[in-house]
Amino acid sequence: MDHSLIFTFVILWVTIFLLLGQAVATVMLGAGFVGLALWMGPNALMGIIGQDVYFSVSSYPLSIIPLYLLMAQMLVRGRIVGDLFRVGHRLAGYRRFPLGVATILTGGMLGAVSGSGSASAAALARLAGPELERVGYTRNFSAGLAAIAGSLSAIIPPSILLMIYGSITLVPIGHLFIGSIGPAVLCILVYILCLRFMGETIPGMPDRVAPLEEEDPEALRRSYIAIGFIVVLMSVVFGGIYGGIFTVGEAGGLGAFTSLVGVALMGRVSFKDVAHGLIDAAKISAMLLMIIMAAQVFGRFMSISRVPRLLVEFTEPLQAYPVILLIVLMVVLFLAGMALEEVTCIILIIPLIEPMLKAAGIDMIWFGVMACFVISLGLLTPPVGLVAFSAAVAANVPPGAVFRPALKFSAVAALVVVLAMIFVPGIVTWLPAQLN
C-alpha cells in the first residue's frame, strides 16, 4: 500500500473518530496500531509496541504526577477552597471589584494547590458565583469569571501540563515551574485589568453588600489556620525545589504526605475522604498515563512516516526568523487547544515540533512555558473548553454564556502575555537562570 495513502488514512481515522466523540487515548492507540501495521507489516508491532508502552510510562518524571495529584486531592477534600474564598471575601470588604479580584487570586492560589482547572472552576462557580451576583455582576459573567480564575491552574505550578512537557522534552521540571511564575503573575494582572474594564454588571445594583449572616469567629479562625497551612506547605515544597534542597519528585512526596497529615490534624478529612482521594488520584493518573501510552504509539507511527523531518525541512526558511516561527507555532497550539484536551495537545504536538525548535535554536524552557500558557487558553474557548463547561455546569448556566466573557479575557491575555514572553524572554528565563 502506498505510504501517502496510509498516512492519509490514519489522519482521517483520527479526525473522524475524534469528531464522533471517541476517547482520545483509544483513537490515538488504534490509529498508531493500524498505521504501523500497514506501514511496516503486523510482525513489526511485536518489537515496537511493547517497548514504547513500557518506556513511555516508566520514566521518572511521570512518577511525580500521582504525588501532586494526591496532594491536590487532600487539600480539595479538606475544603480549602471555601477557606480561600471566605477570607478573600472578607478582605475585599464585600465590595464588587475587590471581590472579583479576590476571585481571580483565589483561582490562582487554588491552581497552586490543586493543579486541576476544571475542579477549581467548578468550586469557584459554586462558592463565588452567588456572592458575585449579590454585589452586582451578572450571573453569566460570574460563572465566566470563575472559569477564567480556574484556568490559571494550567500555568501556575505544580501544573500537570508543565510536568508532562518536561517529561517529553527532558527539560528540568523545577526550571519550568519557576519559569512560569513571571507569566502567571502577568496573566493575573491582565485578568484584573480586564475585570476592571470588561466586567458585566447589573444596572442599579449596589457596589457593596453586607454579609448574609453573622460571621462565626471560630470558623473564621479555622479558615485563617488553613490558609496559613497552605502558605507554609507551598513555601516548603517550592522553596525546597528552587533552593536545591530536594528534587521535584521528593517535593511531591513531601507535599502529599504533609497535606494528608495537615488536613487530618485539622480535622478536615475522614478516613472515607482519604480513601476517595487516593482512588481519584489513581484514576486521574491512570487516565493521563493511558493518553501518554497511546500518544507514544501514535508518535512512533508519525516518526516512521518522517513527519517531524518533513516539518523541519518545510519550516527551514522560517528558522532564520525565530520570532515569526514562534508566532506561527503559538497560533497552531492555540487552535489545537480549542479542539483538543490540553494534555493531548502537549503529548501529540510537542514531539512533532521539537526537532524544529532545536534546529531554530529556541530555548526549550522558554518555549515550554509559552506553549503551556497558550494551550491553557484553550480551556476557555469553544468547542471543547473543559474549564468553561465545568463552570457552566456548576453554575447551571448555558456554556455559551460562559464562553463570551472567557473569550474576551483569553484574547487579551494571549495578545499581552505571549507578546511579552516573545519580546522580553527574561520574564521566563531569568529565574531559572538563577537556579543554574
Q: Enumerate the β-bridge partners of residue 201.
A: 137
Residue 106 near residue 292, CB atoms below 8 Å: no
Q: What whole-number percentage of the chain has pLDDT above 90?
A: 6
Residue 251 has pLDDT above 80, yes or no: yes
| pLDDT at residue 113, as a whole number | 59
Give the pLDDT confidence of 398-430 residue by residue, as tens digits. Answer: 888 888 888 889 889 888 998 899 889 999 988
Is residue 214 domain-resident? Answer: yes
Write down the pLDDT at residue 369: 92
Structural domain including 191 reads 42-435
Note whether residue 140 is domain-resident.
yes
- Predicted local confidence at residue 164, as pLDDT: 84
Q: Identify the residue whose cell numbers are 534542597.
A: 245
Question: CA-to-CA distance for 227 and 230, rounded, in angstroms?
Answer: 5
pLDDT at 365: 92
Residue 284: its pLDDT value, please? Answer: 78
The pLDDT of residue 115 is above 60: no
Share of the chain above pLDDT 70, in %: 90
Task: Tell me, yes or no, whether 26 lies in a domain.
Answer: no
Residue 7 lies in a domain: no
Residue 316 lies in a domain: yes
156 with 112: CB under 8 angstroms?
yes
* Residue 30 included in any domain: no
Where does the pLDDT of residue 104 fall: very low under 50, low under 70, confident under 90, or very high at 90 and above?
confident
Read off the pLDDT of residues 309-360 as tens digits, 9 standing for 90 and up: 777 777 777 777 788 888 888 888 887 777 677 777 887 788 888 888 888 8
- Examine the pLDDT at 212 and tell me if it is beyond 60: no
Q: Which residue has the higher pLDDT, 121 or 119?
A: 121
| Residue of 48 and 258 predicted with greater confidence | 258
Q: Examine residue 2 and state whether it is found in any structural domain, yes or no.
A: no
C-alpha distances in Å from residue 282, one per residue of 63, 79, 98, 273, 277: 12, 20, 38, 14, 9
Nearest to 157 by CA among 103, 111, 118: 111
Structural domain includes residue 332: yes
Beta carbons within 10 angstroms of residue 191's beta carbon: 27
**How many domains does the chain divide into?**
1
Over 60: is that where the pLDDT of 132 sits? yes
The distance of Cα 384 from the centroid of its chain, to the nearest Å, equals 14
